[in-house]
């Protein structure tokens, strides 16, 4: 029987990949950020998940503004990384898990989600960077199923719809006929805005309240509209929808509760609020 061990949320910023590539983790600017990750890395070494399902948003590498699916699920044997123009080295291909991919896809369709199925899929830093942060040494030890949520071009899925998607993904994971251990990763957010009059906008109070809600009140953020979330977190802060989907995926199965393993918050990293959380399901 499949074991859903828990979920993780982390911010993604291209500059983080550059810092890793250039070995700057201990420099004063970067150290407070990277110091947040060892407890989560240790937890993953203890739990040893076999597969990760990653909620993330594409930044134009695989999907562009002319073709932007609301929800897209990868169903490929391998996922290739490519140059995005940020100066981040291209990483080796990541192994997919076809069996779980198709199980999730079929379950989502049965639950009336209209999704895009991708049997070939390029993955950008939002998908690959968490894997380097959580498993910094050697080859990535997990296979993966990437699930892309549109947070780039309006209209965007509503928070309650994203929560429902996350629950359906959690149902699919826990009903998968396998002895594998699965973790769910959310990549994106928290508050940040990279353009316009509010460029550099951060909202620490809201970020911390949202992170706490993931433990105590997982549906808290569904009270807001997308416009509310953009106002409170910035135009790119809407990426917190990935965290909402991740948490919803844990609210299924024989146990509905979570235990916070570790959380970390640091601002700013490249004009972005950098959040990290690890939740163990029980």
Annotated catalytic residues are 125, 192
Q: Count CB atoms within 10 A of the CB of residue 213.
A: 16
181, β-bridge pairs: 3
**CA–CA distances in Å: residue 251 to residues 7, 15, 168, 263:** 11, 33, 10, 19
Residues 69, 66: Cα–Cα separation, whole Å: 10
- CA 123-208-126 angle, 5° bins: 5
Residues 31, 16: Cα–Cα separation, whole Å: 11
Phi and psi, residue 50, nearest 5°:
-95, -30
Round to the nearest angstrom and report the end-to-end CA distance of the chain: 15
**CA–CA distances in Å: residue 259 to residues 115, 181, 255, 262, 280:** 31, 17, 11, 9, 5
Encoded tokens for 125: 């830093």
């Amino acid at each position: 029987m499949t074991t859903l061990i828990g979920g993780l949320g982390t911010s993604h910023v291209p500059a983080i990949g550059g810092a890793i590539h250039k070995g700057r983790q201990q420099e004063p600017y970067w150290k407070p950020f990277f110091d947040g990750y060892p407890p989560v890395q240790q937890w993953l070494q203890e739990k040893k998940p076999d597969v990760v399902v990653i909620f993330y948003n594409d930044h134009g590498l695989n999907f562009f503004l002319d073709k932007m699916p609301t929800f897209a699920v990868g169903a490929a044997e391998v996922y290739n990384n490519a140059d995005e123009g940020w100066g981040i080295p291209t990483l080796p291909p990541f192994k997919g898990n076809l069996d779980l991919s198709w199980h999730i896809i079929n379950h989502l369709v049965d639950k009336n989600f209209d999704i895009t199925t991708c049997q070939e899929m390029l993955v950008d830093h939002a998908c690959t960077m968490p894997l380097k942060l959580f498993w910094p040494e050697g080859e990535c030890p997990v296979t993966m199923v990437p699930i892309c949520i549109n947070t780039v071009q309006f209209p965007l899925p509503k928070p309650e719809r994203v929560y429902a998607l996350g629950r359906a993904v959690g149902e699919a994971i826990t009903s998968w006929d396998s002895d594998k251990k699965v973790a769910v990763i959310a990549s994106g957010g928290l508050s940040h805005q990279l353009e316009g009059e509010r460029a550099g906008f951060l909202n620490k109070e809201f970020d911390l309240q949202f992170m706490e809600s993931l433990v105590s009140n997982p549906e808290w953020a569904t009270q807001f509209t997308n416009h509310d979330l953009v106002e409170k977190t910035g135009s790119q802060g809407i990426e917190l929808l990935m965290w909402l989907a991740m948490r919803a995926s844990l609210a299924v199965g024989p146990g509905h509760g979570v235990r916070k393993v570790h959380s970390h918050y640091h601002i700013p990293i490249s004009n972005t609020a950098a959040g990290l959380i690890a939740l163990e399901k029980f």
